[in-house]
Amino acid sequence: MTIDLRSDTFTMPTQGMRDAIYTAQVGDDVYGEDPTVNRLQEMGCQLTGKPACLYVSSGCMGNLIAIALQCGRGCEVLCTRESHIVCHEIGALSSIGLSQPTIVPSTPEGLMLTDGLDAFKRSYSYDMADRTLVEVENTTSGIVYPIEKVKAIHGWAKANGMNVHTDGARIFNAVVETGIPLTEWARYTDTITFCLSKGLGAPMGSLLCGSNEFIEKARRLRKLLGGGMRQIGFMAAAGIYALENNVDRLRQDHEHAAAIRAALEETGWAKIERFGTNMVFFSCHGTTNQDVIGYFRKHDILFAEDAGFCRMVTSINVDDGMTDMVVRTIRGYRP
Ligand SMILES: Cc1ncc(COP(=O)(O)O)c(C=O)c1O
């Protein structure tokens, strides 16, 4: 059986999730009449403490809507060079969201440097874009922001008349890792989106949360983007199942990633470059990334390259036995 460490987006719905999809009550969600979507959105409000929530098709759509509404034509969003909105969303924030990204300094792991922010204060000038939004990605490549940093970014943004949007695609990994509830993380952001389709294991969907006024506008923009869905409660049911069953188990993914990290550290050829929650990034020495990837592929273990490093991501796809197999294969590799 193939062990897939390419990403936590390759997860397959379990039988319980498939049953939840099959038996879901549905209605026309464009009219707000899908009871399962409405329940999922209520869960989003309870989990984040935000007054309103919208089910969107993807993390990219959630980020785009949040940026377009809080930034937009003639405005800038502050973000890091490594952020998903910059690197992996086909420039949607500018091509559709009409917003200009401004890159702020980050650590080698990609976390925003809070002490660098003061250099980005800007007073009004007729010929300069307004800086209206700061975007924080938590986790960034598996690494959790210290909550103090998140507070500092939010405090700085507010002191400078800006909003904060959190791309919390994997915020539940941060919740499980730190024990800090989502309501606490969400206090320091105006809007937040999180994915049901990553480690939580649903086939699709993200929740975008914020104020009532923001979500009302977001609903219209979702429609404009072609993202109004009808009997989508089938997929929302998968999301509810994921939130009810698959959050605490992320802890196992973190343990599996830690075991893989420890095995890599013992080799002479791998150097850990980034590590956090369910992701391990490493460089290869005395060999090449492609050689290592090829060797593992022969053992039916898949992983990818990212940012020039090898990257292994654990998920619900990978159980204890599979983790042992990965560890044995790491130990068996000779450059
Ligand atoms: C950090 C981050 N944000 C946003 C997204 C986008 O999510 P989606 O693939 O659902 O559009 C991803 C996807 O991998 C991601 O890793």
Residue whose Cα lies nearest atom 4 of ligand 1: it is 59
| CA of 7, closest atom in ligand 1 | 14
Confidence grade of residue 318 (pLDDT, cut at 50, 70, 90):
very high
Q: 158 C-alpha vs ligand 1 centroid, how far in Å?
A: 26
pLDDT of res. 166: 98
| CA of 60, closest atom in ligand 1 | 11
Tokens of 12: 């397959």
Chain segment 39-81, per-residue pLDDT in tens: 999 999 999 999 999 999 999 999 999 999 999 999 999 999 9
| CA of 9, closest atom in ligand 1 | 14
pLDDT of res. 281: 98
Q: 155 C-alpha vs ligand 1 centroid, how far in Å?
A: 26
Burial of 112 (0-12, 13-18, 19+ CB in 10 A): buried
| CA of 167, closest atom in ligand 1 | 3
Residue whose Cα lies nearest atom 8 of ligand 1: it is 59
Tell which one of 60, 135, 208 to mutate to probe ligand 1, the residue whose CB is within 8 A of the most ligand atoms.
60
Give all domains of the chain, ordered by start, each with its CATH number. Answer: 15-245 (3.40.640.10), 249-332 (3.90.1150.10)
Query: Is residue 116 predicted with pLDDT exceeding 90?
Result: no
pTM higher than 0.95 for the full model?
yes
Task: Report the share of the chain in percent with pLDDT over 90.
Answer: 98
- Ligand 1 site residues, Cβ closer than 6 angstroms: 9, 58-60, 84, 137, 167, 169, 195, 197, 206
**What's the CA gap between 101 and 295, in Å, rounded?**
39
Task: Report the share of the chain in percent with pLDDT over 70.
Answer: 100
Burial of 139 (0-12, 13-18, 19+ CB in 10 A): buried
| CA of 57, closest atom in ligand 1 | 10
Q: 84 C-alpha vs ligand 1 centroid, how far in Å?
A: 7
Please write down the HEC assignment for all residues of 188-248: CCCEEEEECCCCCCCCCCEEEEECHHHHHHHHHHHHHCCCCCCCCHHHHHHHHHHHHHCCC
Tell which one of 11, 79, 88, 194 to mutate to probe ligand 1, the residue whose CB is within 8 A of the most ligand atoms.
88
